[in-house]
Amino acid sequence: MIKPPFDPVTLATPFFILTVIAEIVLARFGWAKARYETKDTAASLLMGLGSTVAGVLTGGAVAAATLWVWSHRLFDIPMTAVWAWVAVFLLEDLTYYWFHRISHERRIWWVSHVNHHSSQHYNLSTALRQTWTGALNGSFALWLILAWLGFPPAMIAIQKGISLVYQYWIHTEAIKKTPRWFEAVFNTPSHHRVHHARNAVYLDRNYAGILIVWDRLFGTFQAELDEEPCRYGLVKNLATFNLLRVAFHEWIAMAGDVVRHPRHALGYVLGPPGWSHDGSRETSTMIKAAAAPGALKLAPAEREAA
């Protein structure tokens, strides 16, 4: 099957709207923990709205690539088999983990994903703060492996939608912890708060989509610590709500670095965010190392010299 019979994200849109209202109203009357700032909320929601337009404009190319790969598939996987849905659930979630990990660890993908992290708030509107440029840097190619294996494009699209809808509800401070067995297996508000935090100990952790077991398996899991309250946003926070700057700032910054330092272009494009040829900036690894107990408290350039 090529065209999905339904889109989980479209079906969930009324739920998104109602739950954002519910979170705001509950917080207004002190019945739930949530913070909303008007301009930040507008930026997040308009990024979400823009991403749906971008998705329509680029969706054709992504669908065409998926179809082409599927036409060269290894196996014929039936969309009606339960085992096939179990398999696509696990494999799509594994694909999402690696997509998400490279989106944080390589700047060419971070330039798009940074949009989702640039709010200093963590609420349900943050979940809708989505990139406009996700298809431009080709990260969709990771999902082509599933089509090559033989999963029908419609099946992949539905599972991607289910994953996106699952990840919506975990963007909240209103839920502190879920039952221990659930925290052990699934991505939860607590685990994902860690992922959105800019505290050194939390950087580049908890990349999971639905199953947190991938982080536990690949060594990127970090539990939320009572003694380290999450501070949300970027290592270097935005100082503007201008939507064009919010959407494109890291693309422009990367292009500027490449133009200024063409000999180091590969490092600025394929290196981790924060990489610089002269050590004047900090990557997550450097920040984490500097914040580790016993680390010398030096400025970046001093650290490089040491």
Residues facing 232 on adjacent strands: 197
Residue 20 interacting with another protein (CB under 8 A): yes
Residue 136 interacting with another protein (CB under 8 A): no
Figure out which of the listed residues 7, 8, 37, 258 binds another protein, where binding follows CB under 8 A. 37
The two three-digit tokens of residue 303, written as one number? 């650290």
Residues 216-235 that bind another protein (CB under 8 A): 231, 233
- Nearest of 70, 68, 43 to residue 130 by alpha carbon: 43
Contact of 79 with 154, CB cutoff 8 Å: yes
Distance in Å, CB of 213 to another protein, minimum: 33
Rg from Cα positions in the chain: 20
Q: Which is nearer to another protein, 18 or 81 (CB)?
A: 18
- Piece of the chain touching another protein by CB under 8 A; list 48-56, 132-140, 168-176, 263-271: 48-56
Contact of 243 with 47, CB cutoff 8 Å: yes
Per-residue binding string, another protein, 249-288, x by CB under 8 A, is xx-xx--x--------------------------------
Tell me, what amino acid is at 64?
A
Considering CB under 8 A, how many residues would be counted as binding another protein? 51
Contact of 190 with 183, CB cutoff 8 Å: yes
Tell me, what amino acid is at 132?
W
Contact of 266 with 273, CB cutoff 8 Å: no
- Piece of the chain touching another protein by CB under 8 A; list 141-149, 173-181, 217-225, 243-251: 243-251
Figure out which of the listed residues 17, 81, 223, 225 binds another protein, where binding follows CB under 8 A. 17
Distance in Å, CB of 81 to another protein, minimum: 31
Please, what is the Cα angle at 213 between 207 and 214, to 5 degrees? Answer: 50
Q: How far apart are CA 130 and CA 140, in angstroms?
A: 15
Residue 39 interacting with another protein (CB under 8 A): yes
Per-residue binding string, another protein, 286-305, x by CB under 8 A, is ----xx----xxxx------
